[in-house]
Structure 1
Amino acid sequence: MSRIGKKEIIVPSSIKTKIDNSTILINGPKGELSYVISDLIIIKKIDNKIILEKKNNDKKTQAIYGLSRSIINNMVIGVSQGFEKKLIINGVGYRSQMNNKTLILNVGYSHPIEINTPKDIEIKVENNTEIYIKGINKETVGQIAAKIRSIRPPEPYKGKGIKYINENIKRKIGKAGK
């Protein structure tokens, strides 16, 4: 059983929250996010804390209870600090560059791969091999990072490909010669 939902969310003073029926709107220095909460959950704001309560005590309500708390907490963190993912490109001749709001990847295919940046995400390239993805929504930052990584995931023999900064790739031994 999830105990995450029971934790209260502490809202910093620089962030404004507004609750309308089942919609919560969180506004902070980095931007604004909103989320529609399920009918199974009751949301209350007391002083600088947001508290969630369950209407029922079944499995589905319990699952949505913890999920809603995590999403709202990530929204509070996102509008105050933001989220960042870092990708590293390994491989001879593999490189990346930005062209306006388009990320161009040259990762061993016969053509460069172009990825358009969503409006609330910022992508920055350093040294042609390091890609920084920043944004206020944790879900979209992770989704864009996963999309970029899926273009050329790291392979286990030489480690070539696109990987997260803290990702550990299990290496395999190549074929043994005589």
Structure 2
Amino acid sequence: MSRVGKKPVSVPSGVTATVNGQTVKMKGSKGELQFVVPSLVNVALDNGAITVEPKNQSKEARSLWGTSRAQVANLVEGVAKGFEKRLEITGVGYRAAMAGKALKLSLGYSHDIEYEIPAGITITTPKPTEIVIAGIDRQRVGQVAAEIRDYRGPEPYKGKGVKYAGEFIFRKEGKKK
């Protein structure tokens, strides 16, 4: 039994939810999102709450049960509040700045990296060593953060590179003579 799947997703005021077959649509102050629930899972809207249940007790249906419920909950939170990821840049000369509609990263390479910002995502740089990625779709915000982090991930010896805010980097000791 899925502990996550059992809980109904409550729809807060200011958010309108519609369930049409297997499609769940959410509309809120931040925007509009939709999710198509897999065919092995039933979804229903009752008294301002969305319930998700498996159609049968197969392993695949039970595994999609909690996932589908979490996806619907992310839709509700996204259109109501939005999502945000913070990245920190560590290293001498490493910095980020906005250049029009692109993010310009100086990460110790012979050239600067220009990252084109996808639609639906906003990126700000409050400090040259901090990047804030915001949007209503949790998956896209996380994907953009992962792509930026991938340009120069944190290395274990000095901790230089791009890391998530609050991420712990396991440090290694250098060579010994």
What TM-score do the two structures reach when normalised by structure 1?
A: 0.97
Corresponding residue number in structure 1 for 2:170: 170
Q: What is the CA distance between 1:31 and its match in structure 2?
A: 0.6
Distance of 1:127 and 1:55 partners within structure 2:
50
Corresponding residue number in structure 1 for 2:116: 116
Distance of 1:14 and 1:73 partners within structure 2:
15
Alignment of 1:66-145 (within 5 A): 66-145=66-145
Spell out, residue by residue over 1:57-96, the C-alpha distance to the aligned partner (whole angstroms, 9 max, x if none): 1010011111100000011011111111000100011111
Corresponding residue number in structure 1 for 2:36: 36
- Matched-pair contact (CA < 8 Å) for 1:90–1:129: yes
SS in structure 2 opposite 1:126? coil
Would you say how many aligned residue pairs link Structure 1 and Structure 2? 177
Distance of 1:53 and 1:131 partners within structure 2:
39
Distance of 1:64 and 1:127 partners within structure 2:
41
Corresponding residue number in structure 2 for 1:158: 158
Distance of 2:65 and 2:92 partners within structure 1:
47
- Matched-pair contact (CA < 8 Å) for 1:53–1:65: yes
Q: What is the CA distance between 1:2 and its match in structure 2?
A: 2.6
Q: What is the CA distance between 1:39 and its match in structure 2?
A: 1.3
Corresponding residue number in structure 2 for 1:59: 59
- Matched-pair contact (CA < 8 Å) for 1:13–1:48: no
4+ residue runs of structure 1 moved beyond 4 angstroms? none
Return 5+ residue gaps in structure 2 as ranges. Answer: none
Spell out, residue by residue over 1:111-161, the C-alpha distance to the aligned partner (whole angstroms, 9 max, x if none): 111111111100001221100000111100011001100110001111100
Distance of 1:13 and 1:88 partners within structure 2:
35
Q: Which amino acid aligns with 1:11?
A: V
Percent identity reads 47
What TM-score do the two structures reach when normalised by structure 2?
A: 0.97
Corresponding residue number in structure 2 for 1:18: 18
Distance of 1:2 and 1:24 partners within structure 2:
20
Spell out, residue by residue over 1:93-114, the C-alpha distance to the aligned partner (whole angstroms, 9 max, x if none): 1111111221111101111111
SS in structure 2 opposite 1:4? helix
Q: Which amino acid aligns with 2:146?
A: A
- Matched-pair contact (CA < 8 Å) for 1:41–1:55: yes
Return 5+ residue gaps in structure 1 as ranges. Answer: none
